[in-house]
Structure 1
Amino acid sequence: MPALNPSHRDRAQERKPVLDVVDRVSEMCFGLYMALTFVGAVSATTAGPDAPQTMFRAAIGCNLAWGLVDAIMFLVRTLAGRGMLQKLALTIKQEDRTSGVAAIRDALPPAMNPHIADDDLEPIRLRLVSGADVPERPTLRLADFLGAIRIFCIVVLSTFPVALPFVLLHDVATALVVSRVLTLAMLFGGGMALGHYAGISPWRAGLGMMALGVAVTIAVIALGG
């Protein structure tokens, strides 16, 4: 069985995108929900001639903070996931065949387990056993930091339209309505993208995502936002 050498791993990592469709759309939707809630909360305590500028700064600040947190958590998840894989590889190298196959099975998504036999996992175990040495500790690569920057940009840029009405419109109430309508429209588009990717009706997924946004808006308004 050929070993999975570093060059093979590097080529595999180059082929795999840092962020897939679900990640990109999910980050956008999370940012929209956060901005929708935060802007509504700020509007309840904001009044006066400087209200539009205050709302704009609040929305931008929310987007920047959420994007930064999301980017940091992406790095944390990446590091933790890489550590789990290295722990799995070390376990397989040190244990016998039965324990190694069981360790691989435990690492699989639960939905896949009924469809995969132990004989199907044995080639994976052999590749890990005969492969290159496993590093002592997981590390982050340049591609990981670039992925974090991409997440930050996705969250900030996708939620910027939510803040834009507070610059273009002087009436806070009108700007708030336009901001919420834009948010719901973007949530609908994000839901359609997720539905298309997941193999379900894009219209149903879009309407479901937008309905959740409407529920959040109603809750914010009920609380005074």
Structure 2
Amino acid sequence: MPARQDQPEDRPHRREPILNVVDRVCELCFGLFMALTFVGAVKAVTVADDAGRKMFITALGCNLAWGLADAVMYLVRTLADRGQRRKLALAVQRESNPALALRSLRGALPDSLSPLVDDAELERMRARIAAASTLPPRAQFVRADFVGALGIFLLVVVATFPVALPFLVIADNKAALVASRVLTLVMLFAAGFALGRYTGAGGMRAGFAMIALGILLTMAIIALGG
């Protein structure tokens, strides 16, 4: 008896992550760089006894604020993108000339993708959009949007701890500074490694490149008064 072929409805639905690897790496690195602007300016031989606690509180407060701002802007960007897609779909549905509708669809494609999509594929897309019975009356949020915003907020805030926490738990400020730098380099390497694996650029190479980029960015931020 031949083996039963799995039908599409029999296969488990693969749930796409709300934040992809690039989103997670970028937000984590953003939080690291923000915290590094405080630690990078520290002179371990001159800090006061309570400087570690003050630095941790200041860095955490900064990343809480920036994490909130970044999460809100993620929601704004998400709603704007959804509204733009709805506007395009409405334009395609209302356009009586198929050639003009195809032109609108092609104009919405990224430049790198446009040469790979021929008119026949765009026509099938246009026909599906034109046949859609209803579209949302307006762009609106869904639950996943707020989950993604919360994820961004937490990534930025969590990035504070490997940078600033050593100053809270290690009494010797010089040793705390060394521990902070080591943890930061490890975090940057891990972020670059994940990004390199995701993009096919090579994990090790991307990891070391992220370390170099982090050092340069931190120096630039501090030099500019960040």
- Whichever residue aligns with residue 204 of structure 1, its letter is R
Which has more radius of gyration?
2
Alpha-carbon distance in 1 for matches of 2:23, 2:218: 24
Residue 14 to residue 86, structure 1, CA distance change in 2 (3 Å):
farther
1:54 and 2:54 aligned: yes
Decide which structure has greater helix share.
1
Residue 134 to residue 173, structure 1, CA distance change in 2 (3 Å):
same
Q: Which stretches in structure 2 are left out of the alignment for 5+ residues?
A: 1-12
In structure 2, the residue matched to 1:194 is 195
* Stretch deviating more after TM superposition (190-199 or 23-32): 23-32
Residue 117 to residue 179, structure 1, CA distance change in 2 (3 Å):
same
Residue 177 to residue 81, structure 1, CA distance change in 2 (3 Å):
same
The within-5 A match list for 1:1-225 is 15-41=15-41, 43=42, 47-95=47-95, 96-219=97-220
Residue 74 to residue 184, structure 1, CA distance change in 2 (3 Å):
same
Q: CA deviation at 1:219?
A: 4.2
Q: TM-score, normalised by structure 1?
A: 0.85
Q: CA deviation at 1:151?
A: 1.5
Q: Percent identity?
A: 54
Contact 1:52 1:171 in 2 (8 A): no
Alpha-carbon distance in 1 for matches of 2:136, 2:144: 18
Aligned length: 211
Q: TM-score, normalised by structure 2?
A: 0.84
Alpha-carbon distance in 2 for matches of 1:198, 1:146: 25
In structure 2, the residue matched to 1:6 is none
Residue 224 to residue 158, structure 1, CA distance change in 2 (3 Å):
closer
Alpha-carbon distance in 1 for matches of 2:222, 2:18: 38
